[in-house]
Structure 1
Amino acid sequence: MSHQDWLAIILTLKLAGLTTLILLVIGTPLAWWLANTPWCGKPIVEALVALPLVLPPTVLGFYLLIAFAPSSPIAQFWLSLTGGNLAFSFSALVIASVLYSLPFVVQPLQSGFQQVPKALLETAASLGASGLDRFASVAAPLCRSNFLVAITLGFAHTVGEFGVVLMIGGNIPGRTQVLSIALYDRVESLQYSAAHWLAGGLIAFSFIVLCLVYRLNHYRGVDLGNNYSAREQA
């Protein structure tokens, strides 16, 4: 592989890692709220979160490109804040990736939080535990595998992004050229040997991720049941 390919790999890992971290910070309280709120407008929020699952990535990328255009208020604010343009930058890739991968983090966490026995949370509340204490001492330990699934899916989905990052970031080597775009670039320039290396690596990575996710899903219900039984006996 060429130096440019390694730059694309490093940039992809950097993008996926930062996106996953941001998604955990944003997605965890959002998933907890969705799992526990009785608000009648909850389905609307859930639909907005899940929209990237059915929306073509180029549609999201197109509207983000318009939102990040130099004359837009968002771009003007970003320019005054950082001194640089937002469109076709690494920061734009991060924002787009956070929006596009949001359901892959929120939905596993929400599913896990909904399976936490309400009796345990009520018991903790009766003992004087605050909402944050109940989350940290009861819900989070019971949902360890959900967090692992969310992290794995969020990271892997970001690695595999193509349409949305191409629309908002373009194909700038060392700056916005991530792995999927580098693969497209190699195929377009008939560099099939390099394309085979990149495509084979993505296939192996995807297979390993899926094996890990299915293994975690297999043991998630068992872990919740065992933890609940242990707490009941205690």
Structure 2
Amino acid sequence: MSYEPFLLSFELAALTALILFCIALPLAWYLSQTSSRTKPFLEALTALPIVLPPSVLGFYLLWAFSYNSPLGQFFEDTFGVKLVFSFTGLVVASCFYSLPFMLQPLQNGFESLNKNMLEASYIAGKSRLQTVFFVALPNMKPAVMTAIIVTFAHTVGEFGVVLMVGGSIPGETKVASVAIYEMVETMDYTSAHIYSAIMVGISFVVLLSVYIFNAQQNRRLGL
């Protein structure tokens, strides 16, 4: 039994969660504070990966990342980076696919904050950046933890998008979900059971940790 697909999945999930936190944090803050008419449009656009079939999203990402597209050609010619059938491509594709799982908990966390607390921060002379990092985030730890862990777990469980964009290159793009799919195709059900059981266990532990952490935070706040 090879643990390489799991290690690759965890590396992909960790990088995706880190990148998405940096991307989603300012976007979530903006969406939570704005009353612009474009807000529903942006919310619908960023939530698309939740309702789109992974094969549809994977197809369009595959098309966008290929050398025949302006984006794929630009990255390969300028930086020497291939976005199709590469680990880099998997990271970029995963950021698109897992964006709402990072963005929505953060947005909900910002929206649940006491507005008077934010106003007091501004009155005290703190900038928006200082308010976000030193006032808002410390008071919405459950939302931050939920966003990071659920994004990590969701990326670990990806299949359709990673298969479309990355294929199955051992040590490069063959993550755990793809490995299980190939085992079932070759009727290696014993290995598929083992890999699947590990994935179930990991998913359960990840979700359990979220609920335990949130319950502890709520008890501290007296909720």
Q: Which residue of 2 aligns with 1:178?
A: 175
Q: Contact 1:49–1:103 (CA<8 Å) still a contact in 2?
A: yes
- State the Cα distance separating 1:220 from its structure 2 match: 5.2
Q: Which residue of 1 aligns with 2:12?
A: 15
Paired residues, number: 223
1:73 aligned onto 2:103: no
Q: Contact 2:58–2:162 (CA<8 Å) still a contact in 1?
A: yes
1:99 aligned onto 2:90: no
Please give the alpha-carbon distance, in whole angstroms, between the structure 1 residues aligned to 2:114 and 2:220: 13
- State the Cα distance separating 1:13 from its structure 2 match: 1.0
Residue of structure 2 aligned with 1:30, choices 16, 20, 27: 27
Go from structure 1 to structure 2 and tell me whether the alpha carbon gap of 1:61 and 1:89 turns closer, same or farther (over 3 Å shift): same
Q: Which residue of 2 aligns with 1:134?
A: 131
Please give the alpha-carbon distance, in whole angstroms, between the structure 1 residues aligned to 2:77 and 2:222: 53
One-letter identity of the residue aligned with 1:22: I
- TM-score (norm. length: structure 2): 0.95
**Residue 119 of structure 1: SS of its match in structure 2?**
helix
**Residue 181 of structure 1: SS of its match in structure 2?**
helix
Q: Contact 1:143–1:224 (CA<8 Å) still a contact in 2?
A: no
**Residue 66 of structure 1: SS of its match in structure 2?**
helix
Aligned-residue Cα RMSD (Å) equals: 1.5
Q: Contact 1:142–1:223 (CA<8 Å) still a contact in 2?
A: no
Residue of structure 2 aligned with 1:210, choices 207, 217, 220: 207
**Where does 1:146-165 land on structure 2 (aligned, <5 Å)?**
146-165=143-162
Please give the alpha-carbon distance, in whole angstroms, between the structure 2 residues aligned to 1:214 and 1:43: 29
- State the Cα distance separating 1:214 from its structure 2 match: 2.7
Q: Contact 2:31–2:39 (CA<8 Å) still a contact in 1?
A: yes
- State the Cα distance separating 1:215 from its structure 2 match: 2.9
Please give the alpha-carbon distance, in whole angstroms, between the structure 1 residues aligned to 2:172 and 2:8: 8
- TM-score (norm. length: structure 1): 0.90
One-letter identity of the residue aligned with 1:33: Y
Residue of structure 2 aligned with 1:122, choices 92, 114, 119: 119
For residues 90-110 of structure 1, the C-alpha deviation after alignment (integer angstroms, 9 at most, x for no partner) is 111111100100011111111
- State the Cα distance separating 1:64 from its structure 2 match: 0.7
- State the Cα distance separating 1:140 from its structure 2 match: 0.8
1:53 aligned onto 2:50: yes
Q: Contact 2:85–2:173 (CA<8 Å) still a contact in 1?
A: yes
Q: Contact 2:27–2:103 (CA<8 Å) still a contact in 1?
A: yes
Please give the alpha-carbon distance, in whole angstroms, between the structure 1 residues aligned to 2:154 and 2:64: 23
Please give the alpha-carbon distance, in whole angstroms, between the structure 1 residues aligned to 2:68 and 2:59: 15
Q: Which runs of 5+ in 1 are unaligned?
A: 227-234
- State the Cα distance separating 1:123 from its structure 2 match: 1.0
1:196 aligned onto 2:193: yes
- State the Cα distance separating 1:75 from its structure 2 match: 1.3
**Residue 84 of structure 2: SS of its match in structure 1?**
coil
Identical-residue share of aligned pairs (%): 49
Residue of structure 2 aligned with 1:109, choices 92, 101, 106: 106
**Residue 9 of structure 1: SS of its match in structure 2?**
helix
Please give the alpha-carbon distance, in whole angstroms, between the structure 1 residues aligned to 2:80 and 2:207: 41
Q: Which residue of 2 aligns with 1:231?
A: none
